[in-house]
Amino acid sequence: MKGDKKVSMAVIQRLPRYYRYLGDLIDNGIERISSKELSVRMGITASQIRQDLNNFGSFGQQGYGYNVQWLYEEIGSILGLDRSYTLILIGAGNFGQALAGYPYFAKRGYNFTALFDNDTEIIGKTVGGASVFDVAKLPQYLQEHHVDIAVLTLPGYVAQQAAGVLANSGIKGIWNFSGIDLRVPSSMIVENVRLTDSLMTLSYMINEDEILERVSVD
Amino acid sequence: MKGDKKVSMAVIQRLPRYYRYLGDLIDNGIERISSKELSVRMGITASQIRQDLNNFGSFGQQGYGYNVQWLYEEIGSILGLDRSYTLILIGAGNFGQALAGYPYFAKRGYNFTALFDNDTEIIGKTVGGASVFDVAKLPQYLQEHHVDIAVLTLPGYVAQQAAGVLANSGIKGIWNFSGIDLRVPSSMIVENVRLTDSLMTLSYMINEDEILERVSVD
């Protein structure tokens, strides 16, 4: 037992990256790799890699390095990719439909079982095998179906209302694209994707020299 | 002059959040706010807020706090939101089309002027006012048009090839949804959005207790 100590967010956020790099190594026929080599490829120190993986048990062998396939599967298992998840999506506009229809998610075990919207033009459509229902039917759907993750792809001003309906439904995770900071019960986990913030960060970066020049002249 | 000192990524990534919160305050009719109040709302310490803003000049007044509208506009200007940008998008599938057609981006000055794809079913379509061109025409388009940001919404295995075409085109920023780590000239800035990593992080979080239990038993 590791007791109650949880793994830091920084480590957790690096796990998908390890998984991605190891997948690339497998695609390139590489069977084993030292933590040094992996560190050069990923731009993370070898000791950081060892520390990260030590959170989840013992993975390397002194002088041998890592068995790529085995480590890939172990990290996949840590990430919960050896099981499948049921997802619903609320806000089935163009963006929501594109997300729910993205075939890679289903391949990884993320299965969209229902979409919800309030637009009568969209209700009744089928996206990636899942039907779009009237959002008014969401409470009833949640009573009758097990759902692991709810994806919120609706405008900020209605997202909190949707989150309120999801609260206490048994759903553990919210993947939030709405751009607002949701208030949810502490038992629920919210992962935010802030596309606008990301684009604004990029705008800043491409103008940084000129911006710093300007603000310091004022 | 601030000399060559650049602002840290952590600060830059908080700027869009300040901007968002201040926008909400304006919507709620709040004209001024102390750094203490702002800190409680945002879950950042008041001293962190002062430090962040000090990177760009002097924003608060002792005993008065911040003028919300003024600070909102100043941060918008720092983020480069007081100008407009031309964007192209490469990979005009459902996801790319949803992104390019999202009206909020145009409102903020991010204007998609052309989309590119290799699918003859998609080429010739119009998305949010921009035409989809054959990706073979990309080099010529880049010679004839000024572009600030290229958005890559195409699979990883062709994204590096697209980045190669963009290199030395004068484009300063790449908004990369392809999931791979791009190799680009040091003059270009890449902002990555890794949706799959984000979803995997969420899977881990909702299963963390059980995962840590399992790995420690092994």
Query: Is residue A48 in a domain?
Result: yes
Domains in chain B, number: 2
A2, A213, A217: residue with CB nearest B212: A2
What pLDDT is stored for residue A211 in this prediction? 79
Least confident span in A130-139, A208-217, B61-70: A208-217
Give the total residue count for chain A: 218
Query: Is residue A172 in a domain?
Result: yes
Count of Cβ atoms closer than 10 Å to residue A5 Cβ: 9
CB-based contact A13 B81, cutoff 8 Å:
no
- CATH number, domain of A63, equals 1.10.10.10
CB-based contact A80 B6, cutoff 8 Å:
no
d(CA B81, CA A46): 40
B101's tokens: 């057609």
Residue where a domain stops, chosen among A31, A60, A78: A78
State whether A66 and A154 are in the same domain: no
What pLDDT is stored for residue B57 in this prediction? 78
State whether A105 and A151 are in the same domain: yes
B80, B203, B212: residue with CB nearest A203: B80
d(CA A146, CA A101): 20
Residue where a domain stops, chosen among B59, B78, B97: B78
What pLDDT is stored for residue B62 in this prediction? 65
State whether B63 and B32 are in the same domain: yes
Mutant choice from B204, B207, B210, B217 vs A, greatest count of A C-beta within 10 A? B204
pLDDT band at residue A3 using 50, 70 and 90 as cut-offs:
very low
Q: Which of B50, B49, B56 shows the shortest CA–CA distance to B77?
A: B56
What pLDDT is stored for residue A216 in this prediction? 62
In DSSP notation, B5-54 reads PPPPHHHHHHHHHHHHHHHHHHHTT--EE-HHHHHHHHTS-HHHHHHHHH
State whether B41 and B93 are in the same domain: no
d(CA B155, CA B174): 15
d(CA A149, CA A189): 9
pLDDT band at residue A212 using 50, 70 and 90 as cut-offs:
confident
- CATH number, domain of A162, equals 3.40.50.720
The parent domain of residue A120 ranges over 86-196
CB-based contact B207 A80, cutoff 8 Å:
yes
In DSSP notation, A75-121 reads HHHHTTTTS-EEEEEE--SHHHHHHHT-HHHHHTTEEEEEEEES-TT
pLDDT band at residue A217 using 50, 70 and 90 as cut-offs:
very low
Query: Is residue A111 in a domain?
Result: yes
**Residue A20 predicted with pLDDT over 80:** yes
What pLDDT is stored for residue B214 in this prediction? 75
State whether A98 and A26 are in the same domain: no
pLDDT tens for the 218 residues of chain B, in order: 334 457 888 888 899 999 999 998 998 999 999 888 888 888 889 888 888 888 887 776 667 788 999 999 989 988 888 889 999 999 999 999 999 999 889 888 999 999 999 999 999 999 989 999 999 999 999 999 999 999 999 998 899 999 999 998 989 999 999 988 899 999 999 999 999 999 999 999 998 888 777 776 44
User: Do β-strands B32-33 and B130-134 pair in parallel, antiparallel, or remain unpaired?
Assistant: unpaired
CA-based end-to-end distance of chain B: 58
What b/e readout covers A36-52, taking b as 16+ CB neighbours within 10 angstroms? eebbeebebebeebeeb
Query: Is residue A212 in a domain?
Result: no
Q: What is the pLDDT of residues A30-83, one digit of tens each?
A: 999 988 888 888 888 988 888 888 888 777 666 778 899 999 998 998 888 888
The backbone torsions φ and ψ at residue A49, rounded to the nearest 5 degrees and listed phi first, read: -60, -45
Query: Is residue B24 in a domain?
Result: yes
d(CA B105, CA B87): 10
State whether B100 and B61 are in the same domain: no
Instruction: Quote the pTM value.
Output: 0.88
Mutant choice from A201, A210, A214, A217 vs B, greatest count of B C-beta within 10 A? A201
pLDDT band at residue A122 using 50, 70 and 90 as cut-offs:
very high
Q: Which residues of A touch B91 (CB under 8 A)?
A: none
State whether A65 and A112 are in the same domain: no
A189, A197, A211: residue with CB nearest B80: A211
State whether A127 and A145 are in the same domain: yes
State whether A90 and A72 are in the same domain: no
Query: Is residue B3 in a domain?
Result: no
Query: Is residue B207 in a domain?
Result: no
State whether B113 and B180 are in the same domain: yes
State whether A39 and A111 are in the same domain: no
CB-based contact B199 A104, cutoff 8 Å:
no
State whether A96 and A119 are in the same domain: yes
Query: Is residue B137 in a domain?
Result: yes
Q: Which residues of B touch A99 (CB under 8 A)?
A: 95, 195
Cα nearest neighbour of B4 on chain A: A209
Mean pLDDT of A142-147: 96
Residue where a domain stops, chosen among B33, B57, B78: B78
